[in-house]
Chains A and B, each alone.
Chain A
Amino acid sequence: DTAVSQTPKYLVTQMGNDKSIKCEQNLGHDTMYWYKQDSKKFLKIMFSYNNKELIINETVPNRFSPKSPDKAHLNLHINSLELGDSAVYFCASTPQDHTGELFFGEGSRLTVL
């Protein structure tokens, strides 16, 4: 039973389209994240939600809109996709004990043509 699961795993789309990536965690964690990993493997935090409330919002274009319907889900919607959005997007979650450990999903590889 996967702890942090993301769908889809692969996504190929044209520039200008709108797409969504879904994430669900069954660990009972309160905090969830989206990270972006670029082609050079660099990982950068994008957003974080704690109990459905946005707590971290890095300098991400407003074409990216996260949504958390409940604390077990954090979805990422991207409008007007651009070539530079091609990356692997990782969802992660962490418990409230603040030991810092994040539990990652397997990633969603987005390719914009």
Chain B
Amino acid sequence: AQSVTQLDSQVPVFEEAPVELRCNYSSSVSVYLFWYVQYPNQGLQLLLKYLSGSTLVKGINGFEAEFNKSQTSFHLRKPSVHISDTAEYFCAVTPFSGYNKLIFGAGTRLAVHP
């Protein structure tokens, strides 16, 4: 079984400041890792994903994440946030084999203030 822990339920930050949203996972099998973003009253949109290869992955809107296998972490970062980045961010995993079954963390609310 898999589980995902997002260590911060809310992250307030000022505009143009850097931000890191933390994600740790637990799994007895190898997994793919994802970050999704949910803007208010909308569905989820993929920010980035790690399948294999380079452990630093770049996504949309200037976000990037680093996979750390030894620490079972997949933290999301952005060097300079905008007001428009205010949203709920979800970390998720799915096992390599078998059917896709995305298991989500509880989400982190990023609130960017002017």
Contacts and interface: CB of A to CB of B under 8 A. Distances in A.
A50 B99 contact: yes
A100 B43 contact: no
B44 interface: yes
Nearest to B106: A42
Contacts of B109: 41
A104 B49 contact: no
A43 B34 contact: no
A70 B109 CA distance: 37
Interface string B69-91: 00000000000000000001010
- Chain A interface residue bracket vs B: 20 to 34
B106 A100 contact: no
Contacts of B49: 99-101
Given A41-B88, A43-B90, A107-B43, A100 B102 contact: yes
Contacts of B99: 31, 48, 50, 55-56
Interface in B3-40: 32, 34, 38
A35 to B, nearest CB: 8
A99 B104 contact: no
Interface string A93-113: 010001111101111000000
A41 B107 contact: yes
B51 interface: yes
B19 to A, nearest CB: 18
A100 B107 contact: no
Interface in A59-113: 90, 92, 94, 98-102, 104-107
- 8 A-B pairs with least C-beta separation: A104-B43, A100-B32, A100-B94, A43-B104, A104-B44, A106-B43, A41-B107, A94-B100
Interface of A: 4, 31, 40-45, 48, 50, 55-56, 90, 92, 94, 98-102, 104-107
Interface of B: 32, 34, 38, 41-46, 49, 51, 88, 90, 94, 99-104, 106-107, 109
